[in-house]
Each structure stands twice: as C-alpha cells, then as structure tokens.
Amino acid sequence: MSQLPFLYVENLSKQYSAPRGKAAHVVFENVCFGIEKGEFVCIVGHSGCGKSTILNIIAGLDQSSSGYVYVAGREVNRPGLSRGVIFQNHSLLPWKTALQNVAFSVRARWPDWSKSAVREHSLKYLHMVGLKDAEHKRPAQLSGGMRQRVGIARAFAIEPQILLMDEPFGALDALTRGTIQDELIRICAETRQTVFMITHDVDEALYLSDRVLLMSNGPHAEVAETVEVTLSRPRERASLVRSLEYFELRSRVLDFLVNRTEGTQHGQRSLQQDPASQESQRPDLGSAGQERGHVGNVGGVMRLR
C-alpha cells in the first residue's frame, strides 16, 4: 500500500439533519485530498460551501458526519497540538500581553521547559513576525495587523505538524496583508511548515501556495479541481503580475469560481447566479451554524429538500 500523504482527508462529509422529517441538508460530501509534508495548500470557494467546516473538522473543533482525517498515518478526531490553528479573528487572549499569549501556547506545548526557555522561544517567534517592541502590549493596544501577527507567531511557536489557517488576513487592509503574506512565506520557507489555508483571495492563494483546491458550492459541495501552482519560488509580487503563467492560473481559478461552482450532482439552480453577487459574499466565519445560513443566502434560491 502506498504511503498516505502527511495530511489525508478521506471521504469527509457533513450534513445537518433537517427538522420535521425533511431530507438531511448535505453541506459537502466525498471530500478527499492529501497534503504532503512541507506543502502549502490553499482552498478557495464561495461562502457557505463548507471550507471552514472542513478546516474545523481537521482541527478537531467540529465533527464530520462521515469520513476520516489522518495526520502522519494516524486518525485524528479531536483538537491537538499537532494541528496549530490561526483563527480568522486572531483569538488572542485579551488579558494577556503579546508575549504572554505566545508563551501561554509554548508552555502548553512544552510544559517542562523553564521560564526563561519559554520566554526566549516566544520572543524568537515574535521577532520573526516583526514585532520587536510590542511584546508587552495587550491586544487592545495593537493594530489589526499586529494582532494577526501575534496570532501567527503563537501558531508557529508551537511548531505544529500542520498549520491550519482560516482566512487569516480577511480582516486586514490590502497593504498590511501584502506585508504579512511576505513574512509568512519567509517563515514557511525557513521552517518548512505544512500549511492548509482557506482564502477568498485568488491572488493570495496563487502567491502563497503550491497547490490550490477549488471547491464547488453547496449543497453537496465537493473539491472539484486541484490546480498545481507551478510558479517557481521565490516568488516576487512585482514580476508575478506580469507573468503569463500567473495570468493563466488566475484565469483558470476565476473561471471556476464564476462559472463552474454549480453543484454537479444535485443542485441545478433555477435562476442564473449573478457573478457580481458571488464576489461580494461575506467570508464565512468558521462557525458550523453560520454555514447553514450562508448556504441559504447564496443566490437566494437554495431550497432545503
């Protein structure tokens, strides 16, 4: 039997039982993909297709209706230090300083380290994300970008086997986003971190990742396509924009998002979806309960059968 990929998601599906005898609402099904060690994989798709749910299931914060998740060959079904998570809203503990937040995670990972070892390790990662002088500030005193950087430092500091990121830059402005993306690439190159990231930003997905998974819309959403990002590293933003290869990849992904996200098996919509309205959907916020509402919102024509 061939070696399983480092992260292997097998036949994952999620459904919610509908009340009063109606058929169950299937968010996604038969989701199957693998991520090798050191790979950076992004998943893109419209709001409500279930990307956050997949991430939460991998993280152990949510349960799948069926299917399994394997990390390094072993099944995982609850949260753990092997999978670090960067949440969409930083989720820093607001009563702790930046340094204390990172140290909190480090101490949880290595409980028998000395105080100075924990502090040194935490400072190293804070410096890595460019927060040299902000270590004694609480999250309320930091800007959005800085908070997200602390979240990144905190996740990297525990050196997880897999890093899961749920639209980590969604709340940031474009300039800050660019800066932090570059830092992220640099850190990932240094630490050879395995990453699984959700994003709405096609450019971001192509800039950061080795592979992009394209997810169709729900109900019965699935990973419809995989795009190998063959752009050579290190990637330079300025030259990338003029690269023909980049343009082709980008067109391919956009074409999928605009034209081909209709469910192939079950849902032929009665009304044509307006691409403009799709682009402006709110990013899903990673809560399983909200997924349901979003599916109802997309196109406005989903009917629970």
Residue 59 as a binder of other proteins (CB under 8 A): the answer is yes
CB of 53 to other proteins, least distance (A): 14
What binding mask, one character per residue, do residues 189-208 give for other proteins by CB under 8 A, x or -?
Answer: --------------------
Residue 104 as a binder of other proteins (CB under 8 A): the answer is yes
Residue 108 as a binder of other proteins (CB under 8 A): the answer is yes
Q: Which among 157, 163, 86 has a CA at the least distance from the CA of 122?
A: 157
Distance between CA atoms of residues 137 and 106, nearest Å? 18
Chain positions 223 to 242 lying near other proteins, rule: CB under 8 A, are none
Chain positions 126 to 185 lying near other proteins, rule: CB under 8 A, are 138-140, 158
For 95, counting Cβ atoms within 10 Å of its Cβ (0-12 exposed, 13-18 middle, 19+ buried), the class is exposed
Q: Indicate the residue among 52 and 181 with the shorter CB distance to other proteins.
A: 52
Question: How many C-beta atoms lie closer than 10 Å to residue 66's C-beta?
Answer: 12
Size of the site for other proteins (CB under 8 A): 23
38, 60, 178, 296: residue in contact with other proteins (rule CB under 8 A):
60
Give the max Cα distance, the chain: 63
Distance between CA atoms of residues 235 and 172, nearest Å? 22
73, 79, 275, 300: residue in contact with other proteins (rule CB under 8 A):
79
Q: Indicate the residue among 47 and 97 with the shorter CB distance to other proteins.
A: 97
Tell me the backbone φ, ψ of residue 186, rounded to 5 degrees.
-60, -45
CB of 91 to other proteins, least distance (A): 4
Three-state DSSP string of 140-193: HHCCHHHHHHHHHHHHHHCCCCEEEEECCCCCCCHHHHHHHHHHHHHHHHHHCC
Distance between CA atoms of residues 122 and 21, nearest Å? 53
Q: Indicate the residue among 20 and 78 with the shorter CB distance to other proteins.
A: 78
94 and 138 Cβ atoms separated by less than 8 Å = yes
Residue 94 as a binder of other proteins (CB under 8 A): the answer is yes
Q: Indicate the residue among 64 and 181 with the shorter CB distance to other proteins.
A: 64
Binding site for other proteins (CB under 8 A): 59-61, 79-81, 83-85, 87, 89, 91, 93-95, 104-105, 108-109, 138-140, 158
